[in-house]
Amino acid sequence: MMNPSEDTQKEIKTEIEIHKEVSRHKNIASFYGAYQQRGSIMMPIMIEMEFCGGGTLFELINSPFCRGLPEHCIAYVCREVLKGLSRLQKKQIMHRDIKSHNIAITEDASIRLIDFGLARKIKRFWPCKELQGTPHYIAPEVWTCSSYDFKCDIWALGITAIEMAETSCPLLHLQGEAVGKEIVSGDPPTLSRPRRWSPAFNSFIDLCLTKDPKDRPMAKFLLQEHHFITELQDEMQVKAEMKDLIRRLNAAKHLASKTAEDIASAAVEEVPSDVVVSLDTKKEKTAENAEEAASEVHVDEPASEEVVEAISPQDVGSTDIMGKQDTICHIKIGEPEKDVEASTTPKEDPLQSSEKAPELSVSQDLSPQEEVGSTDTEEEQTTVCHIDMGDSEEAPHTSFQSSKEAPVLEENTGD
């Protein structure tokens, strides 16, 4: 197993400690524990936390039936997120990655902050200047690597509020450093159609997206003073609407999963039986070809006897122990049905029939210096035997053509 690096272990340990410290709050997902997963390379350490059955805010606002949340639902989500951020600020912790992906929803429409992988504690004599976060949600002071604090999370909440209204965050057409340049040098993002929304909502976004962090409010101020949050009425009705959206989202997820399973099952059932048999036959042929390649020559017994007789040492004409003889047999198989008939039920044994016995002649091109059957040469002699088993039902016809007759050497058995 690949163990995480020392820096990665330190980051994971920090995430676990922070999540454990702040988890006892209704707007932060409960932390249950952490353990190391044995035998895993990609995720060696697992964090166990509260299950949020409604998915994430990102999934909700990007579902096919959602064209942006109504304003009172946006106010409800912002209020619950601000409560979670207020809890973090009391613990001197900044989240640094507030976005729709990291805002979870339970089945009863409660809001939970999740993913504390980038969270850090603020130290009095050690200002934070790291460039961390998701580009489209990063505050200007973070892009410029200036000293920053909790207020970077307020900026990210303002971007998320626009995303809830319009289903996409501002500057989505830009990527990477281009986003940072626009955020630092351009005007603060706003709603694309501000008149469609109430003055209170527009004011809330303007405050959250104030470029100078000194003028940007804290979470506690927005919770207690801003009328977009404080004037939220009929919370039960808002939660009922959120629950309905969650129910439709989960139903769509279930339908998509069920449809995918049905399509896969139908695809398997619709495969014709002859196709399955054909595939099995191809597998068998592939296995047979592999066996032939491994053993160079693979024929049934009658064919083997013919090959042995055709390439006996007397026909090759060399008994030199120091020499090397490589015999290569190329067997051409015809149609599969005729192959089986020729190999398993030959009409007549070619070794016992004088009329259908194989005609034998040797084909070798020799240089003037070489002699067939020489016992002094150390060069290799290769005899090539071509056996063609075609459509004919007769015994295989083996043919050798030669410009010379190969002398037959008498076998020396020794004294």
Which residue, among 311, 355, 317, 344, has the nearest Cα to 329 in the 3D structure? 311
Number of H helices, E strands in the chain: 14, 9
Q: Provide the mean pLDDT of the chain.
A: 75
Same domain as 336, residue 228: no
Same domain as 349, residue 238: no
Domain boundary among 252, 287, 316: 252
Q: Give the integer Cα–Cα distance in Å for 204 and 222.
A: 8
CB 307 within 8 A of CB 299: yes
Same domain as 301, residue 248: no
Cα angle, residue 149 at apex, residues 143 and 150 outer, rounded to 5°: 110
Q: Give the integer Cα–Cα distance in Å for 235 and 80.
A: 12
Strand 93-94 to 45-49 pairing: unpaired
Same domain as 312, residue 180: no
- What phi and psi values does residue 91 have, to the nearest 5 degrees? -95, 10
Query: Is 67 among the domain residues?
Result: yes
Which residue, among 34, 138, 45, 152, has the nearest Cα to 93 in the 3D structure? 152
Name the amino acid, one letter, at 139: A
Domain that holds residue 397: 295-363+381-406
Question: Mean pLDDT in each 10-residue stretch from start to end of the chain (415 residues)?
Answer: 68 93 96 80 78 96 90 97 97 97 96 97 86 97 95 98 96 94 96 96 98 97 96 90 92 79 64 51 57 51 43 43 42 43 44 44 43 42 44 44 45 44
* Structural domains counted in the chain: 2
Query: Is 376 among the domain residues?
Result: no
Going by C-beta distance under 8 Å and a sequence separation of 6 or more, which residues neighbour residue 353?
A: 395
Domain of residue 209, CATH code:
1.10.510.10
Question: For the range 228-233, what are the long-range contacts, defined as Cβ-Cβ under 8 Å and sequence gap of 24 or more?
Answer: 228/75, 228/78, 228/198, 228/200, 228/201, 228/203, 228/204, 229/75, 229/78, 229/79, 229/82, 229/204, 231/200, 232/72, 232/75, 232/76, 232/79, 233/72
pLDDT tens by residue, 282-331: 555 555 665 555 554 444 444 444 443 444 444 444 444 344 444 444 44
Could you say which of 7, 97, 149, 320 is catalytic?
97
The neighbouring-strand residues paired with 383 are: 327
Q: Give the integer Cα–Cα distance in Å for 128 and 141.
A: 11
Query: Is 123 among the domain residues?
Result: yes
Query: Is 310 among the domain residues?
Result: yes
Same domain as 393, residue 341: yes
Query: Is 175 among the domain residues?
Result: yes
Same domain as 219, residue 125: yes
Q: Which residues of 107-135 are buried (b: 16+ CB within 10 A; e: fewer)?
A: eebebbbbbbbbbbeeeeeeebeeebbbb
CB atoms within 10 A of CB 185: 9
Query: Is 247 among the domain residues?
Result: yes
Same domain as 301, residue 246: no
* Predicted local distance difference test score (pLDDT) of residue 254: 81
Can you list the alpha helix ranges (DSSP code H) found in 36-176?
57-61, 71-90, 140-143, 151-166
* Predicted local distance difference test score (pLDDT) of residue 205: 98
Domain boundary among 223, 252, 281: 252
* Predicted local distance difference test score (pLDDT) of residue 57: 97
Same domain as 216, residue 68: yes
Task: Work out the end-to-end distance of the chain between its first and last CA atoms, rounded to an integer number of angstroms.
Answer: 68
Catalytic annotation present for 206: no
Which residue, among 144, 160, 148, 145, has the nearest Cα to 102 in the 3D structure? 160
Same domain as 201, residue 90: yes
Same domain as 224, residue 353: no
Same domain as 237, residue 103: yes
Same domain as 168, residue 68: yes
Query: Is 35 among the domain residues?
Result: no
Question: Which tokens sit at 403?
Answer: 């410009």
* Predicted local distance difference test score (pLDDT) of residue 96: 98
Query: Is 278 among the domain residues?
Result: no
